[in-house]
Amino acid sequence: MEVQVTKLAEDKIKEAIKTYNEKNQLRIYVEAIACHGAKFGLAFDDIKEDDITEKVGDITYFADENVLKYSDGIKIDYVLEPKEGFIVTSLRPVKSSCSSCAGCK
């Protein structure tokens, strides 16, 4: 799994690690599935035996196979506007979740 992290996101992650006295590791997970695909999240967690890991700089990012169902690469960014926070997106979505839902029509 490829993980790309912007400089600002990396700085904010390192700041959170220091603030919350966490390990240099961060889980990427599927938060929700909608017509437009998966919504991803980040959490401090422990690496499990079946997790896929990718080290970027000093930080190890990891995910379970569920993430790979919806993406084979993740981009982590941090934005200040319009609402401050992390943006976690798929580099290359591998599966569309849209099928018979009428919500997008």
CATH of segment(s) 2-93: 2.60.300.12
Contacts 24+ apart (CB under 8 A), 9-14: 9/76, 9/77, 9/78, 9/86, 10/56, 10/57, 10/59, 11/78, 12/78, 12/86, 13/59, 13/76, 14/58, 14/59
- pLDDT of res. 105: 47
Look at residue 18 and tell me whether its pLDDT is greater than 60. Answer: yes
Domain limits, the chain? 2-93
Instruction: Quote the tokens at residue 7.
Output: 């400089």
Note the pLDDT tens digit of each residue in 26-78: 999 999 988 778 999 999 999 999 999 999 999 999 999 999 889 989 999 99
Q: How confident is the model at residue 96 (pLDDT cuts 50, 70, 90)?
A: low
What are the strands of the beta sheet with 2-5, ordered from one edge? 2-5, 73-79, 85-90
- pLDDT of res. 101: 55
3-state secondary structure (DSSP) of residue 98: coil
- pLDDT of res. 94: 66
Instruction: Quote the tokens at residue 86.
Output: 């992390």
Torsion of CA 27, 15, 21, 72, to 10 degrees: 10
- pLDDT of res. 92: 83
102 vs 76: which has the higher pLDDT: 76
Lowest mean pLDDT among 5-9, 47-51, 67-71, 84-88: 67-71
